[in-house]
Amino acid sequence: MSDAILSTFTSGEKEETVKSDKVLKAGFIGTGWIATTYAEEMDKFDDIKIVALSDLIPGKAEKFAERYGFTGVNFYPNGNAMIDAEDLDIVFVCTYNTQHAPCAIYALNHGVNVLLEKPFTVTLEEAVEIMRAEKASGKLLSIGFQPRMDENWRQVKKIVDSGELGKVYYIQTGGGRRRGIPNSTFIEKRTAGIGALGDIGCYSLDLVLKAVGYPKPLTATGYTSAYFGANPKYNNPADAARFNVDDFAAGFIRLEGDIILDFRISWAMNMDTPGDTIILGTEGGLRIPSTDCWNGSFPKPLKIYKEVAGEQLEYEVPMRRTPEGLFYRKIRSFADAVKYGGEPPVPSSEILYNQAIIDGLVKSAELGREVEIKIPEI
Ligand SMILES: NC(=O)c1ccc[n+]([C@@H]2O[C@H](COP(=O)([O-])OP(=O)(O)OC[C@H]3O[C@@H](n4cnc5c(N)ncnc54)[C@H](O)[C@@H]3O)[C@@H](O)[C@H]2O)c1
């Protein structure tokens, strides 16, 4: 990454790690579905204690505590009230997307380290505001992009970093579902802000951008549509009636370093797959054979394509397991960064570029033309 923004967030000097007995006091903002994935991991963490829960829906946090056996916790009607009353080390922001920015900014401004769910935000402007709060607070902010912690995706990055592909110049990525429109708070602008593009598109973009070193996005040409979510033929009538986000998006993004990113993502389509993820380099190519690779899944091994002594060869890369699971890694790596210092596992400086692409695709789709991506100074 070459941008000045990134140098603002470069990690400090590495200190010798000394095992800390500190138990982190944690709270949740939002106790919906994603919060349950954290709660299910909690008995693996003897250094995180859940002390407070908040949710806008009366009684929801109490039920959540009961279900997961969190005793002695305090309950609050919203995240700000919890931050005001508690002395938390960390907060898990598990709200729907449109509440990500206000909740994360409030917590950072009050000196609390934040693990924020994905997508980072709805707009680029919100992402910038969060990063400014992060910078002013000196606290840690990480974002819930657990698919990048999959061992196979780490392998993709290692292969790119090894130089075996030469100069990378073209990436095709995305995927998604033939039928898989979520419901609840995911399908309304008021709560989600964006649809498939933000929900699963953000992962898909993250995985390939991380692999190639998160080059700065320069321009975007975007397309979004909603032919399925709002149609009672494909969605239940009550959900179809309130559906007002995208269920499919496509984009063509120019990245710094003369790299083209060709992308599409779907919650619903009349096709089994919009294609594999491929990374083309001057010395080799990489195929990631999965329409589900946005969530870290690798149903089949990835393949490297190379020319060796004039022969066109293909190699399969052995599949790897991620023994502890991605959700465990997401929480563990964040807690370790808070306890021992260093870079957050998913730094905002990277995800800012991810959000800038999503924002650029939305704006381009609205305008019907290519847009320049302008990223403000933090
Ligand atoms: N990392 C992942 O794998 C993953 C998977 C699914 C969802 N998510 C993300 O997690 C987020 C939440 O998704 P969900 O399915 O849990 O949604 P949800 O609607 O089930 O839950 C969100 C909860 O947040 C509460 N809330 C909103 N604003 C609040 C505030 N200011 N204070 C307190 N509570 C507040 C709502 O009342 C609701 O109960 C979304 O941004 C989604 O994209 C991440």
Stretch among 14-23, 112-121, 269-278 having the lowest mean pLDDT: 14-23
Please check the confidence at residue 11 and state whether its pLDDT lies above 90: no
- Residue found by looking up tokens 């320049």 in the block: 372
Substitution site in 41, 146, 185 for ligand 1 pocket (most atoms within 8 Å of beta carbon) = 185
- How confident is the model at residue 5, as a pLDDT? 42
Q: What is the mean pLDDT of residues 240-246?
A: 98
**Are the C-beta atoms of residues 354 and 200 closer than 8 Å to each other?**
no
pLDDT tens digits for range 68-108: 999 999 999 999 999 999 999 999 999 999 999 999 999 99
Q: Give me the torsion for CA of 9, 10, 16, 21, rounded to 10°.
A: 20
Stretch among 246-250, 273-277, 330-334 having the lowest mean pLDDT: 273-277
* Domain 4-146+326-345 = CATH 3.30.450.20: no
Please check the confidence at residue 358 and state whether its pLDDT lies above 60: yes
What is the rounded CA–CA span in Å between residue 204 and residue 354?
10
Atom 6, ligand 1: which residue's CA is nearest? 34
> Which uninterrupted H or E stretch holds 250?
strand 248-255
Average per-residue pLDDT for the chain: 94
Cα 177 to middle of ligand 1, angstroms: 21
From the CB of 32, is ligand 1 less than 6 Å away? yes
Instruction: Give ranges for CATH 3.30.360.10 in the chain.
Output: 147-324+359-367
Stretch among 234-238, 270-274, 290-294, 330-334 having the lowest mean pLDDT: 290-294
What is the rounded CA–CA span in Å between residue 240 and residue 229?
6
From the CB of 245, is ligand 1 less than 6 Å away? no
Cα 268 to Cα 173, 177, 362, distances in angstroms: 17, 5, 18
Fold of 147-324+359-367: Dihydrodipicolinate Reductase; domain 2 (3.30.360)
pLDDT tens digits for range 170-221: 999 999 999 999 999 999 999 999 999 999 999 999 999 999 999 999 999 9
- Which of the two residues, 292 and 102, has the higher pLDDT score? 102
From the CB of 97, is ligand 1 less than 6 Å away? yes
- Residue found by looking up tokens 């021992």 in the block: 340
From the CB of 195, is ligand 1 less than 6 Å away? no
Per-residue tokens: 318: 């052995």
Report the predicted TM-score, pTM, of the whole model to 2 decimal places: 0.95
Please check the confidence at residue 14 and state whether its pLDDT lies above 80: no
Cα 324 to middle of ligand 1, angstroms: 24
> Collapsing DSSP states into helix, strand and coil, what is residue 306?
strand
CA angle 207-208-213, nearest 5°?
100
Q: Where are the beta strands (DSSP E) in 94-228?
A: 113-116, 141-143, 168-176, 217-225
Largest CA distance in the chain: 69
Atom 7, ligand 1: which residue's CA is nearest? 34
Strand 259-266, strand 277-281: pairing? unpaired
- How confident is the model at residue 17, as a pLDDT? 56
Instruction: Give ranges for CATH 3.40.50.720 in the chain.
Output: 4-146+326-345
- How confident is the model at residue 289, as a pLDDT? 85
pLDDT band at 19 (very low <50, low <70, confident <90, very high): confident
- How confident is the model at residue 3, as a pLDDT? 44
From the CB of 79, is ligand 1 less than 6 Å away? yes
